[in-house]
Structure 1
Amino acid sequence: MKTTRISTSRQHTNPKPWPVCALLACLLLTIPTLAQTYQPTPENMKNREWFQDAKFGLFIHWGVYSVLGDGEWVMNQQQIPVKIYEKIPTFFNPTDFDPKAWVQMAKAAGMKYITITSKHHDGFAMWDSKVSDYNIVKRTPYGKDVLKMLADECHKEGIKLFFYHSQLDWHSPDYFPRGSTGGSWTGRPESGDMNKYLDYMDAQLSELLTGYGEVAGIWFDGMWDKKNADWRLQKTYSLIHKLQPGALVGSNHHVTPFEGEDFQMFEKDLPGHNTTGFSGEQTVGALPKETCETINNSWGFNLKDDHHKSKKELVQYLVKAAGYGANFLLNVGPMPNGKIQPEHIASLKGVGEWLNVNGETIYGTRGGPLTARDWGVTTQKGNKVYVHLLNWFDESITIPSWGKKIKSATLFAGKTPVKFLENDYGITLKVPKANLDEIDTIIELELK
């Protein structure tokens, strides 16, 4: 927020000194517009630490759009007007939704938290909102608050819950001026009150933060639709931190974090990378980090998408994220009946089985002393460094030294000693080919 400045320049050559009362008045005018420095609460800082330790979360994109089986952007991509799209909720009846099964699936996968879409860009609320009847309880035959059901199960099972919330809204007439999406085809009037819309958004956020127990954080998305708009971030972020001081705020705006945000996210990319084009305007900061990715090629349920990632791809993405000091938020798009695709359940189970054996090298770690290499990454916890060989099939590898002497080197699997040599060229590790793992050969280095 910019500070209001009052110019004292004058056009005449002999300016008179300002009266003291006028100077005081000017100073008072500036006070309300001064940006207040965000001071995270001790609870918030503790949750940031937990977040960095957690490393693995489940992302869930689920809404009435799943009925059409063409992803969460179907309203925009097929240019479905609001009046027609409003018919879709009448077909949404997820009678097979089982929050316990979802949470147990996440736990079996080794995930520590769930982030679910409370409202996506289509503007439809997946909870019993009191400030709008455009919600799952009032507009669908199902008539139940799925967020409340999931929240209760998460609290019971010790899984933390984040709410994804879209700032962009293709349904609200007050979301105006229009952004780069949701154009005239929506049928909304070419007028509106953005401040009224933001009041509405804050009111819905207040519902989520006061009626669903402890909320681990709010995961924003959509600011990129109107980059230069006044999103009143300070007001919204302050509201969140006031209602739940421990809640973590993050935003998928694709730029460097703003004050009031508690973690930095990277969409479909590792920190510092820009293969998708989403991260070109952000630098990697000091906040806790998270990268999100899809289990196939879609966020919301897509009937035709069979590009399911393999166990190897998923595990290696998780390991790479940890090597960059980031969490891995892996997305599934449940079907309109409330079930998750069997292929995705099986894939998550496979990752969980890998973590049951190797989780010590991921959970509670930070990015290791070496930056990522073509062969893999390193993670670190205390005086132990874990070398993750993700793409190496020779019997020896030389890695750079980082100024710490090694006490011992062992294969994490089986604790077999690994021969090593430290010299001016770096650290050479020798691993018999028989001990190389197709997914991740992990070498545990204990430092002196």
Structure 2
Amino acid sequence: MKLTNPFYKTVILFVMITTVAYTQGKYEPAPENKKNREWFQDAKFGLFIHWGVYSVLGDGEWVMNQQQIPIKTYEKIPAFFNPTDFDAKAWVQMVKAAGMKYIAITSKHHDGFAMWDSKVSDYNIVKRTPYGKDVLKMLADECHKEGIKLFFYHSQLDWHHPDYFPRGNTGGNWTGRPENGDWYKYLDYMDAQLTELLTNYGEVAGIWFDGMWDKKDADWRLNKTYSLIHKLQPGALVGSNHHVAPYDGEDFQMFEKDLPGHNTTGFAPEQKIGDLPKETCETINHSWGFNLKDQNHKSRKELIQYLVKASGYGANFLLNVGPMPNGKIQTEHIERLKEMGEWLTANGETIYGTRGGPLTARDWGVTTQKGNKVYIHILDWQDESLVIPSWGKKIKSAKLFKDKSAVKFIENDFGITLKVPKTKLDEVDTIVELELK
């Protein structure tokens, strides 16, 4: 790895200066950060993008580790990465048509390859690929133009950098790295690259960290890194996919392939739900990065219901696509996103700007709330009558959100009984709008 020494030294000096006054006291978010947290909770739906040189092999973003490809061999892959069909405008228009409000894209994944014009290291898309362009700059410019917020996913884990030492649970001896290194020098390198992302790409909505789980007991120097981010861009939201309760300095809590409080994946057996804004991420098929053989595309119904459930849990839904090495997104995924956008055009009032409703999730569905309106999202119910618990508020009126037709209801000691004719039930989501007195 070649380092541009003068720039690198300047950035490290800046990192030291900006953090020297930062105390070990409790993090207090800036006013613009608090405002952005509110925006984040209102946004509800975003696009996750896993894209890097690994897409050339068509076997997901973990291919280097799964196939145990040594660094010297893996470094040949960028020469085959030439995404001449990448169109930032088309991507952003797709996002807007889907009803999404933000994008989170991989700036650097675990393979250590930077998808921007980094001056800290030449291991990047501009210097190592025939494409030779900064895709993050193009995407950032288009996002700013169209009012779409942009987050950068950034891997703390690095299978390529020699100073990522001692090794963690992944990226073992097969990489060919020397069995030595300076851990804090690696963290300086990471902070220097973050500084580039936070100073050269306009307003950044946030940093989406991943990889701490590789060395969960290491000194990740979070206090220093988080303070650097908040000093460079006070409004930027910091989150980390570490599968435990949020650390001081973080601004939102994420849940990987699970709704808050669930652990179907086994990733987060001890993850507690905190008070920060929440987000759950999931794949549109079974893969994060482009996988040539993965045809397990989720249905329109599955994806819409996951969005609705996430909203009922008070969380955003970050839905992932893995673009192909030519820069295009699979047609099946474009179609799914279009279908979700069409549903949100009709029903977005019950999702955007809401918070989790007065009832916790039930087998039949969830509730969302905005002001004095509660939306009952019936996702799995075949009978005409549905009895739900009362939460101490009297109902003024009940109607189907779809056609505004009245819904009969009874309030008594047994709770609230809603009567929806079977002919009015929707296969995906029957929404009953309750107006409270």
8 A Cα contact 2:22 2:227, kept in partner: no
Shift of 1:368: 0.1
Shift of 1:32: 9.3
Unmatched 5+ residue regions in structure 1? 1-30
Shift of 1:72: 0.1
Distance 2:379 2:268 in 1: 25
Query: Aligned to 1:142, what secondary structure does the other structure show?
Result: coil
8 A Cα contact 2:110 2:157, kept in partner: yes
Q: Give the structure 1 partner of residue 151 of structure 2.
A: 162
Distance 1:36 1:431 in 2: 54
Moved over 4 A (4+): 31-34
1:309 aligns with 2:298: yes
8 A Cα contact 2:51 2:105, kept in partner: yes
Distance 1:172 1:72 in 2: 17
Aligned 1:20-419 pairs, distance under 5 A: 35-419=24-408
Distance 1:33 1:60 in 2: 33
* Aligned partner letter, 1:375: W
Distance 1:34 1:111 in 2: 37
Query: Aligned to 1:52, what secondary structure does the other structure show?
Result: helix
Distance 2:117 2:330 in 1: 26
- The Cα offsets for residues 386-445 of structure 1, whole Å up to 9 and x where unpaired, read as 000000011110000000000000000010000000000000000001100000000000
Distance 2:87 2:21 in 1: 49
Shift of 1:35: 1.9
Q: Give the structure 2 partner of residue 441 of structure 1.
A: 430
Distance 1:400 1:33 in 2: 48
Distance 1:84 1:175 in 2: 19
User: Taking structure 2 as the reference length, what is the TM-score of the superposition?
Assistant: 0.95
* Aligned partner letter, 1:83: K
Shift of 1:345: 0.1
User: Taking structure 1 as the reference length, what is the TM-score of the superposition?
Assistant: 0.93
Distance 1:282 1:347 in 2: 31
Distance 2:21 2:121 in 1: 32
- The Cα offsets for residues 291-316 of structure 1, whole Å up to 9 and x where unpaired, read as 00000000000000000000000000
Provide the identity percentage.
85
* Aligned partner letter, 1:196: K
- The Cα offsets for residues 131-188 of structure 1, whole Å up to 9 and x where unpaired, read as 0000000000000000000000000000000000000000000000000000000000
Query: Aligned to 2:228, what secondary structure does the other structure show?
Result: helix
Distance 2:122 2:340 in 1: 40
Q: Give the structure 2 partner of residue 24 of structure 1.
A: none
Distance 2:65 2:26 in 1: 38
Distance 1:90 1:217 in 2: 30
* Aligned partner letter, 1:165: H
Shift of 1:36: 1.6
Shift of 1:34: 6.4
The number of residues matched between the two structures is 418
Q: Give the structure 1 partner of residue 11 of structure 2.
A: none
Shift of 1:60: 0.1
Deviates more, 1:111-120 or 1:31-40: 31-40
Aligned 1:13-24 pairs, distance under 5 A: none
Query: Aligned to 1:377, what secondary structure does the other structure show?
Result: strand
Shift of 1:33: 10
Query: Aligned to 1:207, what secondary structure does the other structure show?
Result: helix
* Aligned partner letter, 2:145: K
Shift of 1:279: 1.7
Residues 33/115 of structure 1: CA separation in 2 closer, same or farther (3 Å cut)? closer
Q: Give the structure 1 partner of residue 6 of structure 2.
A: none
Distance 1:348 1:392 in 2: 26
Shift of 1:37: 1.4
Residues 201/389 of structure 1: CA separation in 2 closer, same or farther (3 Å cut)? same
Distance 1:391 1:33 in 2: 51
Distance 2:405 2:21 in 1: 64
Query: Aligned to 2:73, what secondary structure does the other structure show?
Result: helix
* Aligned partner letter, 2:177: R
Query: Aligned to 1:38, what secondary structure does the other structure show?
Result: coil
Unmatched 5+ residue regions in structure 2? 1-19
- The Cα offsets for residues 318-355 of structure 1, whole Å up to 9 and x where unpaired, read as 00000000000000000000000000000000000000
Distance 1:74 1:189 in 2: 21
Q: Give the structure 2 partner of residue 7 of structure 1.
A: none
